Structure 1
Amino acid sequence: MQRPHTDGPRRALVTGGASGLGLALVTLLVERGERVLAADLAERPDSVPAGAEYLPLDVRSQQDWDAALRWVREAWGGLDLLVNNAGVATGGRIDVESMSDWERVVGVNLLGPARGCHTVTPLFKEQRSGHLVNVASLAGLVHGPGMSSYNATKAGVVALSETLGFELGPWGIDVSVVCPAFFRTNLHESFAGKDSAMQEAGARLITEASASAQDVARIVLEGIDKRKPVILTDRLGKQAYYGKRFARPLYDRMMRGQAARLARRAGQDPQEFLP
């Protein structure tokens, strides 16, 4: 896979870079000869490839983000690519999931990318170049029942990315949002909260998916190379996205069917509540 011509290897910072999609992206970037700083919560794990630098970073901490900015300025003299990949899984019906669960997922999935963009944008403006890549989800475009907190944060990341694409374009800064459907990763291990039924269903969809994190990472890097504003990684995602846009009645019927099945699994017949 060839990247566009530049004056040298790209300097890339990838959050959530010690596992899952983040690790797959870090590994591929290293294999392509890019300079990579992987960032994650723990001290350097064994999983991070030898060719990558590593920095502990909690995306909820502005102090950690400031430290990461200092690192890239001092070690590399700048940054070319920020991949806001760190995230957690969540799932729950609105009357079951707690507000503390909402606060957790908003802090990581939405405010994490916002902090990253906020932190590096002044540097990118100085350079008059740079690429912000925010990893959202198909759930940011297609909003099924029983996942309100997750859907809301991922939709927020889509909105953030579209906004910044227009806002930062005059400075030569590219912005992409990645919206993958389910793929095999360890994301389900971050599930927490009260709605165990939704979490079990989500974990099943992740662990039984046909695509791997490596498969998705290759498609994501191709989209980054082409500077695509929206990177869809699979046929299911494209069908759902375009179905919502161009066949809305069918999309609505499918979502109402999912909601009815969810209610039945919870032991409630929606028909009982009709007047």
Structure 2
Amino acid sequence: MPERVLVTGASAGLGAALADAYEARGAQVLRTDREPVDGGLRLDVTSDADWVAAREHVERTWGGLDVLVNNAGVAGGGRLDVAGIDEWRWITDINLFGAVRGTATFVPLLKRQRSGRIVNVASLAGLVHPAGMASYNAVKAAVVALTETTGHELAAHGITAHVVCPSYFRTGLMTRARGRDTALTTVMTQLVEQAPLGAEEIAAAVLDGLDRGDEVILPDPAARAAYDLKVGDRAAYDALLRDQARKLEQLGTQEEAE
């Protein structure tokens, strides 16, 4: 029987690439998004009603679900004295509570069938915390914690949980970025545009990690190197990120003076 997979944020970027990769393996994929492509289902991850409708659609159409991919997310952040509380609320509601709502909605179904896999797309920012990105770092770290807790809590029910933590890769995510800190947006956009890998390559590495049963998936060399530096040489890691913080502050000061 083909795997039954629901992917959020599947109209573009990594969500679309993950959906494509699953379909290439013969899976049945329900692509959901706030503005779904043809054949997809509307699912605004901040809407409890949309989540209920998605579960009802899955139960009616497939009778169950094998993989829930909580992928939908937005880019944002900003230095602590630049970003506003409204930005924190916006990014938290989508990037964290989107995954929380999806998990809470589908766990009863997965527990009844005593099987399933929950895949939460976080970011390297959930493990490595650059300056200027406090809100993004915080919500992605929370997704890492949510995933680990989910895996422990549901293991006895035959359900596994996996978190994906990529570094920068080429995607259109920055076109929808929001925030007052234009210096940070400039830096992040450059990093995304200059990244060596695209969404399709990250998606392939994610599925490879899932095949291995990895609970934490670092799907690209840059992500693995950054995390290894943090774990293996904390002094060098701190020095590197504090230097990045100084450069961001200088860029912000320069932009304010122009």
Tell me if structure 2 keeps the 8 A contact 1:91–1:202: no
2:37 to 39, 45, 60: 45
1:49-93 CA distances to partner (integer Å, 9 max, x unpaired)? xxxx51000000010000000011110000000000000000211
**Cα offset for 1:138?**
0.3
Matched, 1:10 2:29: no
Q: Counterpart of 1:55?
A: 41
Measure, in 2, the Cα distance between the counterparts of 1:164 and 1:125: 12
Measure, in 2, the Cα distance between the counterparts of 1:28 and 1:15: 14
Measure, in 2, the Cα distance between the counterparts of 1:131 and 1:195: 37
**Cα offset for 1:267?**
2.5
2:24 to 11, 28, 31: 31
Seq. identity, %? 48
Matched, 1:121 2:113: no
The residue identity in structure 2 corresponding to 1:255 is L
Matched, 1:19 2:8: no
Q: Counterpart of 2:200?
A: 214
- Which runs of 5 or more residues in structure 1 are unaligned? 1-7, 47-52, 269-275
**Cα offset for 1:249?**
1.0
RMSD of aligned alpha carbons: 1.1
Structure 1 or 2, whichever has the larger Rg, is 1
1:146-203 CA distances to partner (integer Å, 9 max, x unpaired)? 0001000100000100111111111110100000000001100111121111111111
Which sits farther off after the overlay, 13-22 or 225-234?
225-234
> Whose helix fraction is larger, Structure 1's or Structure 2's?
2
Q: Counterpart of 1:272?
A: none
Measure, in 1, the Cα distance between the counterparts of 2:110 and 2:211: 18
Measure, in 2, the Cα distance between the counterparts of 1:9 and 1:74: 17
The residue identity in structure 2 corresponding to 1:127 is Q
The residue identity in structure 2 corresponding to 1:91 is G
1:136 to 122, 125, 134: 122
Measure, in 2, the Cα distance between the counterparts of 1:45 and 1:75: 19
- Which runs of 5 or more residues in structure 2 are unaligned? none
Q: Counterpart of 2:237?
A: 251
Tell me if structure 1 keeps the 8 A contact 2:123–2:140: yes
TM-score by length of structure 1 reads 0.90
Measure, in 2, the Cα distance between the counterparts of 1:217 and 1:108: 21
Tell me if structure 2 keeps the 8 A contact 1:132–1:175: yes
Measure, in 2, the Cα distance between the counterparts of 1:147 and 1:94: 8
Tell me if structure 2 keeps the 8 A contact 1:65–1:119: yes
Measure, in 2, the Cα distance between the counterparts of 1:201 and 1:244: 21
Tell me if structure 2 keeps the 8 A contact 1:14–1:36: yes
1:190-219 CA distances to partner (integer Å, 9 max, x unpaired)? 111211111111111112211010000000
Q: Counterpart of 1:196?
A: 182
Tell me if structure 1 keeps the 8 A contact 2:183–2:248: no
Measure, in 2, the Cα distance between the counterparts of 1:202 and 1:267: 17
Measure, in 1, the Cα distance between the counterparts of 2:154 and 2:234: 32
Tell me if structure 1 keeps the 8 A contact 2:77–2:87: no
Q: Counterpart of 1:68?
A: 54
Question: Partner of 2:18: helix, strand, or coil?
Answer: helix
Tell me if structure 2 keeps the 8 A contact 1:25–1:217: yes
Measure, in 2, the Cα distance between the counterparts of 1:17 and 1:126: 26
**Cα offset for 1:254?**
0.9
**Cα offset for 1:45?**
2.3
